[in-house]
Structure 1
Amino acid sequence: MHYPAPLTSGSTIAVTAFSSGVAAPLHARLELVLGDLARRGFNVLEGRCLREDQLHVSAPAAQRADELMRFLLDDQVDAIMAPWGGEIAMDLLPLLDWQALKQVRPKWLMGFSDISTVLSAFISKLGWASAHCTNLMQLSLAQSDPLTANTFAHLQTPTGEAFTQHNAPFFEQGFSNYAQDSHAVFNLTEPSRWQLLGEEANSTKPVSFQGRLIGGCLDTHMLMYGSEYFDPQSLLNRHPDDKLIFYFENAEQSPTAYYRALQSLKLRGAFEHAAGILVGRNAVSGMAGKAFDGETAVKMALGDLSVPIVTGVDISHIAPNLVVINGALAEVSFCGEQWTLVQHLR
């Protein structure tokens, strides 16, 4: 694995919307979080593909790819963030100069949702570690829950060392409206529960498994699996003595589409070398009166696998979010009432 250098005070973070941009009604929120990056001690480099949003993107694909490449090739840049995800970051992947990128210093790529589409391409093509984590528009200094507040602290971890996170006690039922309130923070009111598939909610059965982390938003990853841009085998080739821990979260798929996505990955052999699977909170509610919901989809698709499957994990469009390092060697465990995720950057 190629781990980027730890982020420290004075590191440079480039901001570009390589998927959806930020429309004018949300510029006040954008200014807030950009200012907070500076207040954290980072140098902020703002790209041109950022402050517009037309047809789900900040600019035409060629412009977005050119700007992303410019930041990736600039060794004064330490990390690259987008404001948030979107829909069609996939169109950048064939436009990036992957040969040129083999010669440059790895940078942290950070975010979730459609950002994870790009993160998986970098681990598959280049072996770069990346951070599946809270998006920039949510990372205000006022956000005080431990998972979000420690996002940048975890990215200070030196290569060879590890950091630890625990399950969040509560999650947010809805979504903040930054157009109405640019200073909004998460409203974490709903009890959070990670649960081992097939066990009762109050089960105290100990759980422990280890593997290299890989995954992201299921909506795009189920489409990319088997391509050069989401190739878990490439991670196994780099670390033949390790198994994989897959993590997925459903953003927009209906329960039956969610089932088909998981089932298709299983049928294509995605989980043959899995040590376990982490399933994030489902962002789509089931249809009223229908028994086939997201929980049913996971049980039906993955219930016959012989590896631990943990549901309700803090990896989701429903805040808050863990920092998950693609490629890190992770240990997942449950003892008593607390889940623990330890990630080794080695």
Structure 2
Amino acid sequence: MLYPAPLSRGSKVAITAFSSGVPAALHPRLDVVLNDLRIRGFEVLEGKCLRENTKHVSARIEERASELMQFLCDESIDAILAPWGGEMAMDLLPMLDWARLQNVKPKWILGFSDISTILTAVFSKLGWATCHGTNLMQLSLNQTDALTSKVFDFLSLAEGSGFKQVNASFYEAQYADYSKDPKAAFNLTEPVKWKVLNKDIKEEGLVTFSGRLSGGCLDIHMMLYGSEFFNPIARDNEPFILYFENAELSPTQYFRALQGLKLQGAFENASGILIGRNAVLDNDADPVSGTEALTMALGDLPIPVVYDVDIGHLAPNLTLVNGALAEVELTQTQGSITQTLI
């Protein structure tokens, strides 16, 4: 694993929207989080592909690819953040000069949703540790929940260090409207409980498993699996902990995505699976619920499948480092994950 250098005061953070950009109505929120980065002590470099959004993207593909390459190759940059995800980051994968990137300094890349497209590709192609976690537009200083407020603490740790996170107490069921309140924080109202899907494993009580982390948004990763851009093969045949979260898939699509991964052998070298809270709510029009779809696809696996985890579109988010060695522990009252940067 190639771990980027720890972030510290004075680190340069580049901002580019390689997927969806930020429309004018949300520029006040963008200015809040960019200023908060400066208050944290970072030097902020704002890219040109950022403050517009047309047909799901911030700029033409050539411009987005060029700016991302520029930032990836700039040795003075320590981290690259996008405001949020979107729909179209996959179109950049064949546009990046992967051979050139083999020789540049690793940088932290952070985010979730469509950001995970780039996170996984960089991890798979270059061996860099990348960070699945809170998106920039959510990282205001007034967001004080234990998971979100510590993101930059975790990214400031040196290789060989470790950190532990426990499940959130509450999650956000309805997104804040940043156009109305640029300084809004999460509205954390719903109780959090990590659950074990597999009945036989559940009855054993304490659940623990370990492995190297890899995963992201299921909507994207179901299509990338097996390609050069999502190929979770650990060194020395170490097991993986795979994690996924559903952004937009209906229950039947959710089932097909997970079943398809299983049929392709995605879980054969996994010690366990983490599934984030499902952002698609159950409704009376669909006879299958999200949990039923999950059970039909993965309920027969002989490894732990832990779901309703703090991953994805219903904040807050765990900070998950792709490539880190992780240990998950689930008791009757608490879920936790410990990651070691080795």
- TM-score, normalization by structure 1: 0.97
2:166 and 2:85 map into 1 onto residues whose CA distance is 25
1:83 and 1:323 map into 2 onto residues whose CA distance is 16
Decide whether the 8 Å contact of 1:204 with 1:335 is kept in 2.
no
1:92 and 1:215 map into 2 onto residues whose CA distance is 19
1:204 and 1:317 map into 2 onto residues whose CA distance is 30
Residue 75 of structure 2 is matched in structure 1 by: 75
Pair 1:264 & 2:260 matched: yes
Residues 289 and 88 from structure 1, CA distance in 2 versus in 1: closer, same or farther, beyond 3 angstroms?
Answer: closer
Residue 22 of structure 1 is matched in structure 2 by: 22
Decide whether the 8 Å contact of 1:204 with 1:337 is kept in 2.
no
Any gaps of 5 or more consecutive residues in structure 2? none
Counterpart selection for 2:323 from 327, 333, 338: 327
1:267 and 1:153 map into 2 onto residues whose CA distance is 39
Residue 229 of structure 2 is matched in structure 1 by: 229
Q: What pairs with 1:128-143 in structure 2 (closer than 5 Å)?
A: 128-143=128-143
1:281 is aligned with what amino acid?
Answer: R
Counterpart selection for 1:273 from 269, 282, 307: 269
Any gaps of 5 or more consecutive residues in structure 1? none
1:192 and 1:203 map into 2 onto residues whose CA distance is 20
1:73 and 1:289 map into 2 onto residues whose CA distance is 49
- TM-score, normalization by structure 2: 0.98
Pair 1:310 & 2:309 matched: no
1:286 is aligned with what amino acid?
Answer: D
Residue 163 of structure 1 is matched in structure 2 by: 163
Q: What pairs with 1:75-114 in structure 2 (closer than 5 Å)?
A: 75-114=75-114
Residue 58 of structure 2 is matched in structure 1 by: 58
Tell me the CA shift for residue 289 of structure 1.
5.3
Aligned length: 341
1:241 and 1:229 map into 2 onto residues whose CA distance is 19
Decide whether the 8 Å contact of 2:112 with 2:216 is kept in 1.
yes
Residue 192 of structure 2 is matched in structure 1 by: 192
2:332 and 2:174 map into 1 onto residues whose CA distance is 29
1:131 is aligned with what amino acid?
Answer: C
Decide whether the 8 Å contact of 1:102 with 1:126 is kept in 2.
yes
2:17 and 2:331 map into 1 onto residues whose CA distance is 40
2:169 and 2:203 map into 1 onto residues whose CA distance is 17
Residue 119 of structure 1 is matched in structure 2 by: 119
2:321 is aligned with what amino acid?
Answer: I
Counterpart selection for 2:341 from 338, 341, 345: 345
1:42 is aligned with what amino acid?
Answer: F
Pair 1:3 & 2:3 matched: yes
Q: Percent identity at matched positions? A: 57
- TM superposition outliers: structure 1 runs of 4+ over 3 Å: none
Tell me the CA shift for residue 198 of structure 1.
3.2
2:279 is aligned with what amino acid?
Answer: A
2:229 is aligned with what amino acid?
Answer: Y
CA deviation map 1:202-242 (0-9, x unaligned)? 97810110000000000000011111111113xx2xx1241
Q: What pairs with 1:184-223 in structure 2 (closer than 5 Å)?
A: 184-199=184-199, 205-223=205-223
SS of residue matched to 1:124: helix
SS of residue matched to 1:44: strand
- Measured on the aligned residues, the alpha-carbon RMSD in Å equals 1.3
